[in-house]
Structure 1
Amino acid sequence: MVSDYGGMLSASEEQRLTQKLNAYAKETSTQIAVVTEASLNGNTAFDRSLAIAQGWQIGGSDQNDNGVLVYIARDDRRIQIQTGYGAEGFLPDAIAKRIIDQIMTPAFRQGQIYRGVDEATGAIMSLGKGEYSADDLPARGDSEGIPPIVIFIMIFVVFILISRFNNRHDDDDDDGGYWRGGPYDMDDPHRKVRRRRRRGGGWIIMPGGFGGGGGFGGGGGFGGGGGGFGGFGGGDFGGGGAGGGW
């Protein structure tokens, strides 16, 4: 259940995690795997982790697909959680993102890799058994970084200020008519039309959104640093989960 190819855990830490995850798999049929690698070698964390999850078929069975992969790329400082189809019910993308941002990232930044992985897998296990809810995760204010809603408000305020500045600049240009019939003659009906058109406008729609979760299907073959890993049972993944870094 734990493959520390990146050498981020001690032998005893890897053993403790493996024992915990194996016991959980026997109890619940949900399989949680932890994989670390030294480098992404030019891949994205999403593509690499999805390839591993699909290639190893992490999960209980074809009917359950209760698999979760916690993937860590050491040198790239990237984290990715991949959820099987059967695990998406108790571990939706938004919750996976909170586990990364509020549990793993703070611990990793303090150099406490084992604690971050242990607490993250513990939270996933409790969510799977219904003993833990999203409300039990640390409050967003307890983690580092700016909440997405604050970023959105800041962007919105900036657009409002820019809009007001442009309108005021238009008024300054239009109110100083130099001569009748000229380009600044406010009695010129064509000028009024031009002014209205300059004052017109609409909302600027910003594509995309905030939060995490795979937005595209990936995959492809994978090789090097990983290799096959027995003990998994036919789980399937569609790219659900979340990513982050430290």
Structure 2
Amino acid sequence: MAALIVALPAAAQAAETPIPASPATWVTDTAGVLDPATRSALNAKLSAYERSSGHQVIVWIGTTTGDAPLEDWTIRAFTAWKVGRKHLDDGLALFIFMQDRKVRIEVGYGLEGKVTDAKASRIARNEVAARLKRGDPNGAVTAGVDGLLAAIGGTDNAATDQNGQTGALQWTDALPLLLFFLVFAIFFGMLLSARRAMHGMYTIGRGGGMPFGGFWSSGSSGGFSGGGFGGGFSGGGGMGGGGGASAGW
């Protein structure tokens, strides 16, 4: 009984092993095992892949998960970092822990049909762990990324989610917006016609300026800042739990 009382706090502490802040780049190497050229090339490759396909694929290299079990740590990190697009859950992460000598691939639900557990296991064992065992971390991560991208395949930005909907904007989604602008155009045209008919009896705005000028001027001059690709990696709201595989060396 006393042993159980002691074990429970230890288990709770392991489950609460802190997860680092969301990475700012597609490849994060806190263990310092990648050379700068490899890290830069992989970041560029995964950034370009996200732009072309919409899928978020990241690499995170650390030393240890501490007392937390490998899969517990990686799924919590994957979820906390929101890898993949919201509702599509099409993210994928390659985790490597140098001190623990462990590899883990986490797959979002939206990609589990393409990156099956069997494929993930083969890549983790044959492409990543085998090269790490030979002392080649640069080759291991490069081969792992290439294998995962090949398994996902395609450059479909309109990836289908679990409800059969697509990530691209559908015409039915845009219909309310189109109706709004149609009504606005009709209303604005009526105002202009009334203005001409009254020969200046009524003015629209101070000094005859166009109405709703503030509405238009408050538009997109500041640019979109909702997690684009120019400033580095930013989680898209996805979730994990679609499977994966682990390996050691």
Is the pair's TM-score, using the shorter chain for normalization, greater than 0.5?
yes
2:234 corresponds to: 231
1:54 corresponds to: 79
Give the Cα–Cα distance (whole angstroms) in 2 for the partners of residues 62 and 106 of structure 1: 34
1:30 corresponds to: 55
Give the Cα–Cα distance (whole angstroms) in 1 for the partners of residues 33 and 243 of structure 2: 25
Q: Does 2:88 match 1:64?
A: yes
Structure 1 residue 50, shift from structure 2 partner: 0.8
- Among 18, 39, 54, the alignment partner of 2:43 is 18
Structure 1 residue 81, shift from structure 2 partner: 0.2
Aligned amino acid, residue 86 of structure 1: G
Q: Deviations over 1:117-167 (max 9, x none)?
A: 111111111121259xxxxxxxxxxxxxxxxxxxxxxxxxxxxxxxxxxxx
Aligned amino acid, residue 129 of structure 2: T
Q: How does 1:30-109 map to 2 (within 5 A)?
A: 30-59=55-84, 61-109=85-133
Give the Cα–Cα distance (whole angstroms) in 2 for the partners of residues 86 and 15 of structure 1: 27
1:111 corresponds to: 135
Q: Deviations over 1:105-125 (max 9, x none)?
A: 211111111111111111111
Match of 1:233, SS state, is coil
Match of 2:247, SS state, is strand
1:158 corresponds to: none
Structure 1 residue 63, shift from structure 2 partner: 2.6
Give the Cα–Cα distance (whole angstroms) in 2 for the partners of residues 130 and 21 of structure 1: 14
Contiguous gaps of at least 5 residues in structure 1: 132-228
Structure 1 residue 57, shift from structure 2 partner: 0.5
Runs of 4+ that moved beyond 2 A? none
TM-score (norm 2): 0.57
Q: Structure 1 residues 111, 77: CA separation in 2 closer, same or farther (over 3 Å shift)?
A: same
Structure 1 residue 18, shift from structure 2 partner: 0.6
1:221 corresponds to: none
Percent identity over the alignment is 29
Q: Deviations over 1:216-241 (max 9, x none)?
A: xxxxxxxxxxxxx9512011111510
Match of 1:237, SS state, is coil
Give the Cα–Cα distance (whole angstroms) in 2 for the partners of residues 22 and 2 of structure 1: 10
Q: Deviations over 1:85-104 (max 9, x none)?
A: 11111101111001111111
1:195 corresponds to: none
Contact 1:53–1:69 at 8 Å: present in 2 too?
Answer: yes
Give the Cα–Cα distance (whole angstroms) in 1 for the partners of residues 43 and 107 of structure 2: 19
Give the Cα–Cα distance (whole angstroms) in 1 for the partners of residues 61 and 73 of structure 2: 11
Give the Cα–Cα distance (whole angstroms) in 1 for the partners of residues 33 and 248 of structure 2: 15
2:212 corresponds to: none
Give the Cα–Cα distance (whole angstroms) in 2 for the partners of residues 84 and 75 of structure 1: 26
Q: Does 2:10 match 1:7?
A: no
Give the Cα–Cα distance (whole angstroms) in 1 for the partners of residues 247 and 130 of structure 2: 11
> What RMSD over aligned residues (CA atoms) do the two structures have, in Å?
1.6
Contact 2:112–2:242 at 8 Å: present in 1 too?
Answer: no
Give the Cα–Cα distance (whole angstroms) in 2 for the partners of residues 52 and 6 of structure 1: 17
Give the Cα–Cα distance (whole angstroms) in 2 for the partners of residues 71 and 126 of structure 1: 18
Contact 1:2–1:18 at 8 Å: present in 2 too?
Answer: yes
